[in-house]
Structure 1
């Protein structure tokens, strides 16, 4: 009996943590079932993201001054960064898409960074969110391509510079890669955000063990710094790929 009690106490004191629990979608107002109309923690943090963006881009820039405040400086830097990205990657004729691309970048980068706050939730760690963002990009590029060029947009899939014998095979490959775009576009973002947050949670679990807590705390601090960088880089990668795809819609010929 004493052995069984000691074994039970040992099991009770063992370290138990679940790194993936932080990605569970939960209703905010009770219940367990989640429907398309249910307000969840994902809904809450997407709303907080939008409010944070509005606070930066509207409140911080209202009454703009020649010597800018910190908020105004950040807003202007973000604006100039995305504007130059569109010009460099897609061309000046794509500047008309700046509002959409800028909104996309700001939503992703704020979602990524706000998700690092304690007790928060990262919407971009869920494929349900990132696949919608990627599908909107895919549909926008496809619609714009056909609207501007009609059937000539199909020239995107025909590599005229290749030998005639291999052109049909290359066309098939190009079509497959085109339709795979939203999958790779969304998985890259969600996968990176999910992996980083899971690693932080693992180190946080080890911090409860006295013997390894100093190392775990140092690792958590390092991972937080890395995740801040990753959050920005993933927003940049998603946005620059959007610019590349828009370039295909505006200039489809190989």
Structure 2
């Protein structure tokens, strides 16, 4: 937020935009009593879901041979993710395509609607990205043991390494495996938070400088364009990493 200069400086608070507040009370939730409070985060989560429904359900309701614009976008997304799952995780991973498609569309739309002025970035919060990452981690781990039994542990045992290094590498592989949900979630959340914070800083300078805000406004335009790209890339990165982890569950010995 930007205001008048205070104590000779700019009064800019770029992190205020990430505060979760009650939609009607304006107060931050605290304790179990506010567990079911409808917040700004709840609102923009719902808007993201409605955008997905509008594109993939309402936009393709006609299933026309000559698709409309919305149907074309939906079909392009469908084909893109279907090919990604098949190329990265193999043909036997196609049965998990609905799960991967759901992840991609949710993250993509949550990232994009967060670029609307006065909106709220739900994917900048570890409460959201952490849940998504843990869902992937638990799904892959459980699936790996169900499909392969104890053979899933081959994932942690480098069979081609020298015998003396195998125990050390096994420990490293085990640690890196359990760090996956942390890196998976922080990569998404941190990139979104950093970009929105930079936008808020430049917006604060533009508001404070008034008519002399040519440079901050130009910077906002440039950073905004970059953030659109980041929103798409981060959805892609999260999804392709999910496919890589899924491949480990299906083919742990490879």
What TM-score comes out, normalization by structure 1 length? 0.93
- Find the aligned partners of 2:61 and 2:26 in 1 and give their Cα distance: 42
- The answer (yes or no) to whether the contact 1:206–1:212 under 8 Å persists in 2 is no
In 1: Cα distance, 2:138 partner to 2:5 partner: 56
Please give the alpha-carbon distance, in whole angstroms, between the structure 1 residues aligned to 2:90 and 2:206: 50
Match for residue 243 of structure 1? 243
Q: How large is the RMSD of aligned CA atoms in angstroms?
A: 1.5
What TM-score comes out, normalization by structure 2 length?
A: 0.93
- 1:102 and 2:106 matched: no
Q: CA deviation at 1:61?
A: 0.2
Is 1:88 equivalent to 2:87 in the alignment?
yes
CA apart distance, 1:195: 0.2
Q: Cα distance 1:159–1:65, how it changes in 2: closer, same or farther (>3 A)?
A: same
Q: Which runs of 5+ in 1 are unaligned?
A: 1-8
Matched, 1:231 2:231: yes
Q: Report the equivalent of 1:29.
A: 24
1:53-92, Cα deviation, whole Å (9 max, x unpaired)? 0010000001122221110111001000100000110001
Aligned length: 246
Within 5 Å, give how 1:1-254 maps onto structure 2: 11=6, 15-30=10-25, 32-34=27-29, 35-208=34-207, 209-210=209-210, 212-254=212-254
Mind listing any 5+ residue stretches in structure 2 that lack a counterpart?
none
Distance 2:27 2:57 in 1: 37
The 3 A distance-change label for structure 1 pair 20 and 11 is closer
Larger Rg: 1
Distance, in Å, in 2 between the alignment partners of 1:239 and 1:217 is 33
- 1:30 counterpart SS class: coil
Q: Aligned partners of 1:156 and 1:143: how far apart in 2? A: 14
Distance 2:43 2:5 in 1: 39
